[in-house]
Amino acid sequence: MKYTEVEYNELTKLVIKCAIEVHKELGPGLLESVYEICLIKLLREEGLDVKHQVKLPVYFRKEKLDKDFILDILVNNVLILEIKSIEDLQPIHEAQLMTYLKLSNKKLGLLINFNVELLKDGIRRRINGDLNN
């Protein structure tokens, strides 16, 4: 299914709403895996198609190489979620998300760090190309 920018934005809002619910209930300081499994539960309750720990192979010149990345969460097969529970997000974490977006040919990703007082301070949205194409 091809998404429009408006549909991407609505999906993003719903995912962030669910992430905020998880953060309000659990607070900061837990392991990434706890936030991940709780977020997956809420996203599925919202009726979203959610896959987790999705293998992402690396291809170069049409050959599959001996390297796979693992996506934390893939929502509706269009939105990648990279979950963190760390002191501070660093440029390497954003590069990780952009790598996943480019290798998977997906347009939109969210980097969510749950180890913050206010979750809005721990969210980074990244776009690969144009959301309308």
Secondary structure in 3-state letters for 19-43: HHHHHHHHCCCCCHHHHHHHHHHHH
Q: What is the mean pLDDT of residues 100-125?
A: 96
Q: Which stretch of DSSP H or E encloses residue 99?
A: helix 91-104
| Confidence band for 1, pLDDT divided at 50, 70 and 90 | low
CA-closest candidate to residue 131, choices 9, 1, 16, 13: 9
Structure tokens at 121: 């301070």
- Give the number of other CB atoms < 10 A from CB of residue 67: 11
* CATH numbers and ranges of domains, the chain: 5-127 (3.90.1570)
pLDDT attached to residue 130: 86
pLDDT attached to residue 124: 97
| DSSP annotation of 60 | E
Over pLDDT 90: what percentage of the chain? Answer: 93
Q: Is the pLDDT of residue 131 over 90?
A: no
pTM reported for the whole predicted model:
0.95
